[in-house]
Amino acid sequence: MKYSKIMLGAALIGATASTIFAQETLRSLAEERGRYVGAILNSEWFNNAIESQFEEIHKTQFNAVVAENEMKFDATEPNKGQFSYAKGDKMVTYAKANKMRVRGHALAWHSQVPGWVNNIRDKKQLLDVLKNHIDNVVGHWKGEVAEWDVVNEAINDDNNHGWRSNGSVWFQTIGAEFLDSAFVWAHAADPDAELCYNDYAIEWGLGQGSKAGFVVDQVKRWKQNNIPITCVGTQTHIEISHETTPQNVRALAKALAEHDVVLNITELDVGFPQGSAGSLGASDYAKQGHLYRQFMDVFLEEPNMGEFMIWGVTDAHSWLDGQQGKTQGLIYDKQYKAKPAYDSLIASLKAHPASEVKSPYKSAVTPPDSSATTDSTTTDSTATDSTVTDSSTVTPGDTSSVAPGDTSSVAPGDTSSVTPPPVTPGDSGVGIRHEAIASMELRMNLVGRTLSVAGAADAKVQVFDMRGRPVFSSVASKGSVDLSGLSNGLYVVRVRDGARSLERRVALR
């Protein structure tokens, strides 16, 4: 009966099936659940230099938007007191027309600051500049930008995290009070806007000395001092091997919930090492989808998460290739074809009924289009249960090396960590864990600047900085490699032997 009515409808208006059945989208499913799923508008969009499919997909699939570069300091106040709002206005108009939430990114950041600001050495003068910038920019978009990244990337990458000094005119000239002041001024300029602290590498766990732990400490202090912070953004530019990061984000969300602060995923991409671009196959994209899905699972299950933002739409336009030594990290390929990651996100949303998903701002999300059907044909080619756990450990006695995201205690006698093999459809998480435990022979040990590898003849050693950029690569042909060429700091070391690999976070001093 239902079917014949639909057929009749189709015949009457001469429409195709696809216009009768409003397709389920990331957007429609997120809206039903009182959540936002978004993506940047790339700079190419602002310059009218992007394929028409981009906007079509963007407004169909997403209900939140952020500018890749166009609301940053150098874009909005390139010269002292001369504000440039045209591009940001273009985004706000687009967002209004398509009923999307706008994130404002970013007010106080050490990067993409114009030269005239970077040269200021007088504290009072720079405080005035920051206040004036915030008053004007937040004031201009008052009521239109729902949420600001008030401060971006203000924490350094040293082992004992503190505020970033190197390269930050804000910290060098003003000191740490620039952060507190920025929040207070942003709140004064738009009391209804949500105000975030945003950073990278806070998806690496809350272990001792972690960046995420430092963020939580600051949030606590801000709340105690009535600094009007309402949210934290985890950028989450990760790569395919960072399998513990979704659960680390969950732990961070829970820690922030204790302070009544929302956690948003603000810049997600899941890149592959650039060199692998030519050899990626179905299982690689399935694994990527699995990671995307795990982030969406965590996002939907944690009640104090609100936005799930991806740093791009299509692999044809992504900062990963040009600036990060990574590639193919988004959910649409270069031809705008949805990748397995897209199906995974849809599957995760559908696996979390709206009645069970809590929202920090349920009332604010645009109600879904009532014509949307509950088509359940989308399958998730990458879905497995999410029982893959952090198989990493900390070397006993080595307090400086913390495995990515390890929040757990030291496993005595266990000095290695084995990364589970790529997840393929049908794998069960339990099987993966058993396999991981069964093959724990690959080991690494760092003494000074010499990294020894045991359990492999010619293991490949790669070192990445805290943004996941490759900084060193060699083969441990005699069982060790010399890392003395690297400067002091925190790194992730990956040792790979065929299908086996292990990763550890190390501090070089």
Nearer to ligand XIL, 69 or 165 (CB): 69
- Can 267 be counted among the known catalytic residues? yes
Residues in the interface with ligand XIL (CB under 6 A) total 7
Q: Is 319 in the site for ligand XIL (CB under 6 A)?
A: yes
Query: Rounded to the nearest whole angstrom, what is the least distance from the CB of residue 68 to ligand XIL in the complex?
Result: 5
Nearer to ligand XIL, 324 or 395 (CB): 324
Nearer to ligand XIL, 79 or 323 (CB): 323
From CA 461, how far away is CA 45, in angstroms rounded?
39
Q: Is 73 in the site for ligand XIL (CB under 6 A)?
A: no
Sign of CA dihedral 380, 386, 387, 388: positive
Q: Is 152 in the site for ligand XIL (CB under 6 A)?
A: yes
Query: Rounded to the nearest whole angstrom, what is the least distance from the CB of residue 267 to ligand XIL in the complex?
Result: 6
Q: Is 68 in the site for ligand XIL (CB under 6 A)?
A: yes
Query: Rounded to the nearest whole angstrom, what is the least distance from the CB of residue 365 to ligand XIL in the complex?
Result: 24
From CA 410, how far away is CA 417, in angstroms rounded?
12
Centroid of chain to Cα 363 = 25
From CA 132, how far away is CA 136, in angstroms rounded?
6
- Can 70 be counted among the known catalytic residues? no
CB-based contact 269:330 (threshold 8 Å): yes
Nearer to ligand XIL, 43 or 424 (CB): 43
Q: Is 466 in the site for ligand XIL (CB under 6 A)?
A: no
CB atoms within 10 A of CB 268: 27
43 is written with which tokens?
Answer: 């700079």
Nearer to ligand XIL, 320 or 481 (CB): 320
SS3 content of the chain, % helix, strand, coil (to 5): 35, 20, 45
Q: Taking CB positions, which residue lies at the least distance from ligand XIL? A: 319
Q: Is 76 in the site for ligand XIL (CB under 6 A)?
A: no
Nearer to ligand XIL, 43 or 283 (CB): 43
Say how many Å lie between the first and final Cα of the chain, rounded.
73
What mask, x for binding ligand XIL by CB under 6 A, covers residues 97 to 116? --------------------
Query: Rounded to the nearest whole angstrom, what is the least distance from the CB of residue 82 to ligand XIL in the complex?
Result: 22
Query: Rounded to the nearest whole angstrom, what is the least distance from the CB of residue 43 to ligand XIL in the complex?
Result: 6
List, in order, residues 6 or more apart from 144 with CB less than 8 Å away.
92, 95, 96, 102
Q: Which residue has the tokens 């399998």?
A: 243
Query: Rounded to the nearest whole angstrom, what is the least distance from the CB of residue 73 to ligand XIL in the complex?
Result: 11
Query: Rounded to the nearest whole angstrom, what is the least distance from the CB of residue 40 to ligand XIL in the complex?
Result: 7
Strands, DSSP E only, in 96-183?
A: 101-109, 147-152
183 is written with which tokens?
Answer: 């929040």
Nearer to ligand XIL, 156 or 359 (CB): 156
DSSP 198: E
Nearer to ligand XIL, 267 or 315 (CB): 267
Buried b (16+ CB within 10 A) or exposed e, 169-186: bbbbbbeeebbbbbbbbb
Angle between helices 177-189 and 211-224 (to 10 degrees): 60
Query: Rounded to the nearest whole angstrom, what is the least distance from the CB of residue 242 to ligand XIL in the complex?
Result: 16
Among residues 24, 68, 243, 267, the one annotated as catalytic is 267
From CA 393, how far away is CA 55, in angstroms rounded?
44
Among residues 70, 153, 239, 243, the one annotated as catalytic is 153
Q: Is 235 in the site for ligand XIL (CB under 6 A)?
A: yes
Beta partners for residue 444, in sequence order: 453
Q: Is 69 in the site for ligand XIL (CB under 6 A)?
A: yes
Nearer to ligand XIL, 68 or 77 (CB): 68
CB atoms within 10 A of CB 69: 16
Q: In the range 249-308, which residues lie near ligand XIL by CB under 6 A?
A: 267
DSSP 258-310: TTT-EEEEEEEEEEEEGGGGGG--HHHHHHHHHHHHHHHHHHHHSTTEEEEEE
What mask, x for binding ligand XIL by CB under 6 A, covers residues 30 to 49? -------------x------
Residue 243 to residues 128, 290, 431, Cα–Cα distance (Å): 44, 10, 16
Q: Is 462 in the site for ligand XIL (CB under 6 A)?
A: no
Query: Rounded to the nearest whole angstrom, what is the least distance from the CB of residue 187 to ligand XIL in the complex?
Result: 21
Residues acting as catalytic residues: 153, 267
Residues forming contacts to ligand XIL in the complex (CB under 6 A) are 43, 68-69, 152, 235, 267, 319
